[in-house]
Amino acid sequence: MAVPPTEINPEQIKTFKEFLSSYNKLSEICFLDCVNDFTSRTIKPYEVIIIFWLFGRFQSYYSGWFNLPDMFCVYKSTCEDKCSTNCTEKYLKMNQRISQRFQEFQIISNDNLAAAQKLGNK
């Protein structure tokens, strides 16, 4: 059931816009980090992955440079899936940590304001 526009709280609209902005940013960041092959509509398995230890990193002749976690990806779909999951988790943990720090800052700020008001009333 749709809510008439007059009953929508402007604060709810603002919150929803912030959520959509955050979601779009997350989607863009993780997409750019995790998807790198547009040569086919299907997700193909890696053909032959030959991994060599070289300069502290892994190199594959098929798909360029790998970091250590990518070594365990046998199929491209699992690599992209693992990458997107890790990216999402990192982003959400970062967002949660920033919110936590902001709350801590607000508490300290409120305590300082209350202390300043007490000193002003004396």
Measured between alpha carbons, how far apart are the two ends of the chain, in Å?
56
User: Of 78, 107, 28, 101, nearest to 69 (Cα)?
Assistant: 78
pLDDT reported for residue 83: 82
Mean pLDDT score across all residues of the chain = 72
Q: Burial code of 40-54, b = ≥16 C-beta within 10 A, e = fewer?
A: eeeeeeeeebeeeee
Q: What is the tens place of the pLDDT at every residue in 59-80?
A: 444 444 444 444 445 555 567 7
- SS3 label, residue 10: helix
Q: What is the tens place of the pLDDT at every residue in 37-53?
A: 777 665 544 433 333 33
pLDDT reported for residue 114: 93
- SS3 label, residue 60: strand
pLDDT reported for residue 84: 81
**Whole-prediction pTM:** 0.52
